């Protein structure tokens, strides 16, 4: 089994700034040595960042709030 991970940080940063959230996209390419086939697992998660009223009053930095993160697993052959 060989696993390669590729991410596009610049593109994700632009998307994150556009929608006001952090977008993480990880594509895993797994090669099954027994069959010699390639499988791609796309892992997609978005995490919204919000400020609580307390953070605004105290002037603290942005606090990540993990709303139920959306995770999508897509298997391609």
Mean pLDDT in residue range 9-33: 55
Domain that holds residue 67: 2-76
DSSP tally for the chain: helices H, then strands E: 2, 5
Provide, rounded to the nearest whole percent, the portion of the chain with pLDDT above 90.
0
Question: What pLDDT was estimated at residue 19?
Answer: 56
pLDDT surpasses 60 at 34: yes
pTM of the model: 0.18
**Per-state percent for the chain, helix, strand, coil, to nearest 5:** 20, 50, 25
More confident residue, 18 or 51: 18
Mean pLDDT in residue range 60-74: 45
Question: What pLDDT was estimated at residue 52?
Answer: 46
Domains in the chain, number = 1
């Amino acid at each position: 089994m060989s696993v390669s991970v590729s991410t596009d940080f610049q593109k994700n940063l632009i998307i994150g700034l556009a929608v006001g959230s952090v977008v993480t996209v990880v594509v895993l390419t797994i090669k099954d040595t027994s069959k010699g086939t390639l499988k791609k697992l796309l892992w997609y998660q978005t995490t919204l960042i919000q400020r609580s009223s307390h953070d605004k009053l105290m002037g603290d930095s942005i606090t990540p709030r993990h709303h139920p993160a959306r995770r999508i697993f897509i298997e391609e052959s």
